[in-house]
Amino acid sequence: MLLREEGDRVLAIGQASHAWISGQLARAWGNERFPAPFPYEEVCLAAEQHDVGMSMWDLDPTRDAESGLPYSFMEMPLPVHLELWSAAPARLLTQSRLAAVLVSMHGSRLYRRRKLDELPDEQAVAVRHYLDAQQQFRERLSADFDERELEIASQLIWTWDFLSLAMCLDWSGRVAREVPTVDGGVDIQITRAGERRIRLEPWPFEGDAMTVRCEGRRLEGRYETDEALRAALSSASWETLELELLATSA
């Protein structure tokens, strides 16, 4: 779950809704410099579903005792996070093998960034087991796919995920690294351009602006128990969060 803080209130955005923004970015992506995703439908599906493993947890989340709010994806206990990510790729198999492989690659990218020598031994072993299992999962499915195309698609999904997080969590001054273009990877600078607006440089879409949206539930306080949190979520008002992306020239 993503927690967007706005004053004293928090908008709780499900991981799948954040991933929906990734899908919206994927479907609009492309211009003379930035090639559209390929194969288009499968890569867009993977972008939109990359957090499918989190969807059921977000309906019945656990409370972070320190904050009194649901665990965000950044504070979620490692065993829970691993369990959810382990289940995610297989959930896409009945839709698309390629999308399932790309979701597996995305989860593996996340866990390869972990500093295993800084984790307790038990957790480091669990992460290595996850990475090995995902490698075996991909090897069973990806023999028919072009490795170079997979790597480009995976990097694009990583980029859309990062841009969506930057918008949902109001990050500014961040950089999306090594974004694929027709002539190699470039960095995209993310700059806040006002309330719920960001600028991207260079610009990876046609036109000079686009709008994306997701949905979340508004939480007004902090909660002492899981039961109180879940009751608050079940009665919370739903809100649509619209976010605008602008080219530097806009």
Q: What pLDDT, on a 0 to 100 scale, did the predictor assign at position 208?
A: 96
Taking 80 as the threshold, does the pLDDT of residue 250 lie above it?
A: no
Q: How many CB atoms lie within 10 A of CB 31?
A: 15
Rounded average pLDDT over 129-157:
94
Q: What pLDDT, on a 0 to 100 scale, did the predictor assign at position 131?
A: 98
Element (H, E) at 243: strand 238-247
Q: How many CB atoms lie within 10 A of CB 15?
A: 20
| Contact criterion met (CB below 8 Å) for 52 and 88 | yes
Q: What pLDDT, on a 0 to 100 scale, did the predictor assign at position 58?
A: 93
SS3 at position 240: strand
CA dihedral 58, 62, 65, 70 (to 10 degrees): 10
Which tens digits make up the pLDDT trace of 13-67? Answer: 999 999 999 999 999 999 999 999 999 999 999 999 999 999 999 999 999 999 9
Report the predicted TM-score, pTM, of the whole model to 2 decimal places. 0.95
Rounded Cα distance, 100 and 20, in Å: 16
**Residue of 221 and 206 predicted with greater confidence:** 206
| Contact criterion met (CB below 8 Å) for 104 and 137 | yes
| Contact criterion met (CB below 8 Å) for 44 and 208 | no
| Contact criterion met (CB below 8 Å) for 90 and 55 | no
Q: What pLDDT, on a 0 to 100 scale, did the predictor assign at position 98?
A: 96
Pairing of strands 209-219, 69-70: unpaired
SS3 at position 122: helix
